[in-house]
Amino acid sequence: MSAIVTLITGILFGLGLAFSEMTNPAVVIGFLGIFGNWNPSLLIVMASAIAVGMLGYIIKNKQIKPLLSNKWQVPSLRHIDSKLIIGSVLFGIGWGLSGYCPGPGLTALINNPAEGFYFISALIIGSGLHYFQARSGLK
């Protein structure tokens, strides 16, 4: 049952990305470029995402445990640290320069294979570097 719910959730997420044109880097860059030809259409996408997230927390607070798991899996970290700030800055720079974040980047492998390949390759290399840096204990 969990796999079916995960599949349905993934399909809904993908349809939402496609319908909102989050898979089109030109639309994303148009939204992020507030000093040029700004395209505010993605405000609806962000507002919808916030609403869904809030709904999730309302449901979590009303139920003792989730329907398909033994416990809620909510991040326990409650403070802002340098890793969060650096990661957020790097994510924002990458998103602003390329117009892709991980979900739409995967769709680019089909929609725009050349850009998708470079984006996903950089994503894998960056994730690998972080993994090995974290395992080695380097700061």
**pLDDT at residue number 121:** 92
Cα-flanking dihedrals φ and ψ of residue 36, to 5°? -115, -130
pLDDT at 124: 93
The per-residue pLDDT for 80 is 92
Cα–Cα dist 120/131, whole Å:
16
Task: Give the distance, in angstroms, between the CA of residue 131 and the centroid of all CA atoms in the same chain.
Answer: 19
What residues have CB less than 8 Å from 96, skipping those under 6 apart?
Answer: 29, 32
pLDDT of residue 139: 62
Listed as own residue / partner, the contacts of 47-51 with beta carbons closer than 8 Å and 24 or more positions apart are: 48/16
Confidence (pLDDT) at 55:
93
Six-digit token string for 91: 């994510």
Per residue of the chain (139 residues), give pLDDT as tens: 778 988 998 899 888 888 888 888 888 888 888 787 888 888 888 899 899 999 988 988 898 888 888 888 888 888 998 888 988 998 888 888 888 888 888 888 888 898 889 989 998 998 998 888 888 876 6
The confidence score (pLDDT) of residue 125 equals: 93
Contact 107, 17 (CB under 8 A): yes
Cβ neighbourhood burial of 75 (10 Å; 0-12, 13-18, 19+): exposed
pTM of the predicted model, to two decimals? Answer: 0.68
Q: Which two tokens stand for residue 94?
A: 């990458």
